[in-house]
């Protein structure tokens, strides 16, 4: 008998297998079917259903995997399958065949499109995709590609015509027709470019004519400027030579003024020493005059002594005469003393006359020495002024020499700059002539375009 425990165990087995199927595992089966008695056939059919399901899934997966890799030679093998399993196998095989046909058509279309695109890349847009035998998406795709190539060919032909005219200098062509999208943008850009080139060509023509005229004027002006600059450079060179000579002369004058200043200083020192000598002479003459006065006083005293001696001798002679014979000797002595006093008086008179004459001459010499001292003082003052003036002249001459050196340097620099300017003017003149030639060439180039 098949008891409730066997049913329960069978349901547990079925539940376990179903749980594995729910997890995607179709390898589970119910084993030991005999132990389930009358349920064994049912469980066997359950296992058979799992086998068919597993085989169907495995076979369809393998066939579709090959088809996904572009391998259509592996069909679905429906061995042992019946009912919906076999019908599904047939459907999968028909789908595989359709995929194979579509892949072959796609491959053929891909080759044709590749050839068409390659030719278009090489500049040949005359080819088209054949439409015979194609339908659906493939026909629409072929028609779209043909329309794209034709439209591209038309647009490129229009642009090529404009560029060909541009190469000939003809700006009268534009891209005609009605386009959309990027073709319309290219058409607008090309036509605007042609319009801009027309305007640029017109303005370039005007500018070329103006530049040619201006270049001719600049060239003429540069030639005139070169002539004037050359003349100015010659004059400046002569001026530089003259300034150099003047500078040498002023420098020599400055050296002479410096030497004169040194000589004037030496003369001033000599005059100062002469003034000191004259002052010493004046002092000595004054002392001599004082000594002469003192000698005159002494001579006056001697004269008085001689006068008194003469009186005493006279008195002695009178007394000797009164004494008679006793006074004769004394009378002789008194006579001798009187004679001596007379000679002393005469000598004193002569000395006094000489001293008076010498004193007059000393006074005259002192006056002359004083006048000489005054003159030397004036000479010393004049020499000092001359020294100051010569020093100022020497300073001014030195400053003039320094200034003339700077002027000479500036003139030399100006001469060098003038020479450089002359060279620059020559270069500018050559550049102006080259500009005139280039302007003529530019006019010829612009004349190439026809508007």
Strand partners, 170: 450
pLDDT digits (tens, 9 = 90+) for 335-375: 787 788 778 778 877 877 887 887 788 678 778 767 877 87
- Cα four-point dihedral sign 206, 208, 450, 167: negative
Q: Per-residue pLDDT for 440 more than 60?
A: yes
Q: Per-residue pLDDT for 437 more than 60?
A: yes
CA distance 389 to 8: 153
Confidence band for 298, pLDDT divided at 50, 70 and 90: confident
Distances (CA, A) of 299 to 88, 227, 304, 355: 191, 104, 9, 9
Q: Per-residue pLDDT for 2 more than 60?
A: no
Rounded mean pLDDT of 34-59? 86
pLDDT digits (tens, 9 = 90+) for 149-183: 777 877 777 788 888 877 887 877 788 878 788 88
Rounded mean pLDDT of 19-47? 87
**How far is Cα of residue 282 from the mean position of the Cα atoms in its chain?**
80
CA distance 258 to 260: 5
CB 201 within 8 A of CB 446: yes
Distances (CA, A) of 440 to 203, 204, 221: 15, 12, 18
Q: What percent of the chain has pLDDT over 90?
A: 1
Strand partners, 450: 170
CB 201 within 8 A of CB 171: yes
Q: Which of 34-43, 62-71, 101-110, 237-246 has the lowest mean pLDDT?
A: 101-110
Q: Per-residue pLDDT for 328 more than 70?
A: yes
Note if the pTM is more than 0.75. no
Architecture of the domain spanning 204-447: Orthogonal Bundle (1.10)
pLDDT digits (tens, 9 = 90+) for 223-265: 776 787 778 777 867 877 877 786 788 678 778 767 877 876 7
Q: What percent of the chain has pLDDT over 70?
A: 87
End-to-end CA distance of the chain: 114
Helix (H, G, I), strand (E, B) or coil at 191: helix
pLDDT digits (tens, 9 = 90+) for 78-92: 777 777 888 887 888
Mean pLDDT of the chain: 78
Rounded mean pLDDT of 128-157? 75
Q: Per-residue pLDDT for 326 more than 70?
A: yes
Helix (H, G, I), strand (E, B) or coil at 426: helix
CB 204 within 8 A of CB 442: yes
The pLDDT value given to residue 46: 92
Contacts 24+ apart (CB under 8 A), 52-59: 52/80, 52/81, 52/85, 53/26, 54/26, 54/27, 55/80, 55/81, 56/81, 56/85, 56/88, 56/89, 57/26, 59/89
């Amino acid at each position: 008998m098949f008891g409730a425990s066997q049913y329960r165990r069978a349901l547990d087995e079925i539940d376990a297998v179903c749980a594995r199927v729910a997890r995607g595992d179709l390898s589970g089966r119910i084993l030991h079917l005999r132990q389930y008695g009358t349920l064994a056939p049912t469980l066997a059919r359950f296992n058979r259903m799992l086998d068919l399901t597993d085989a169907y899934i495995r076979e369809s997966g393998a066939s579709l995997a090959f088809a996904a890799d572009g391998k259509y030679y592996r069909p679905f093998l429906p061995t042992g399958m019946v009912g919906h399993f076999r019908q599904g196998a047939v459907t999968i095989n028909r789908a595989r065949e359709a995929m194979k046909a579509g892949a072959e058509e796609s491959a053929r279309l891909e080759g044709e499109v590749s050839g068409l695109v390659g030719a278009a890349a090489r500049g040949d847009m005359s080819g088209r995709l054949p439409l015979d035998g194609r339908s659906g998406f493939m026909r629409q795709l072929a028609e779209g590609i043909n329309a794209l190539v034709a439209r591209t060919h038309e647009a490129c032909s229009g642009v090529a015509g404009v560029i060909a005219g541009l190469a000939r200098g003809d700006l009268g062509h534009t891209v005609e027709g009605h386009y959309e999208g990027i073709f319309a943008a290219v058409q607008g850009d090309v036509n605007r470019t042609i319009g801009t080139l027309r305007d640029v060509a017109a303005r370039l023509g005007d500018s070329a004519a103006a530049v040619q005229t201006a270049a001719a004027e600049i060239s003429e002006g540069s030639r005139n400027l070169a002539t004037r600059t050359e003349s100015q450079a010659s004059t400046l060179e002569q001026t530089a030579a003259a300034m150099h000579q003047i500078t040498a002369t002023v420098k020599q004058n400055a050296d002479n003024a410096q030497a004169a200043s040194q000589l004037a200083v030496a003369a001033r020192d000599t005059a100062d020493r002469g003034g000191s000598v004259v002052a010493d002479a004046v002092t000595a003459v004054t002392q001599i005059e004082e000594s002469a006065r003192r000698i005159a006083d002494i001579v006056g005293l001697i004269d008085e002594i001689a006068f008194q001696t003469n009186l005493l001798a006279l008195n002695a002679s009178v007394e000797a005469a009164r004494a008679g014979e006793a006074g004769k000797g004394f009378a002789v002595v008194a006579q001798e003393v009187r004679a001596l006093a007379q000679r002393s008086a005469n000598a004193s008179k002569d000395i006094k006359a000489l001293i008076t004459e010498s004193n007059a001459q000393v006074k005259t010499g002192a006056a002359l020495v004083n006048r000489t001292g005054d003159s030397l003082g004036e000479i010393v003052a004049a020499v000092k002024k001359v020294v100051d003036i010569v020093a100022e002249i020497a300073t001014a001459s030195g400053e003039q020499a320094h200034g003339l050196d700077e002027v000479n340097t500036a003139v030399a620099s100006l001469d060098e700059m003038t020479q450089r300017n002359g060279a620059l003017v020559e270069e500018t003149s050559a550049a102006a002539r080259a500009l005139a030639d280039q302007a003529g060439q530019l006019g010829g180039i612009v004349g190439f375009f026809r508007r």
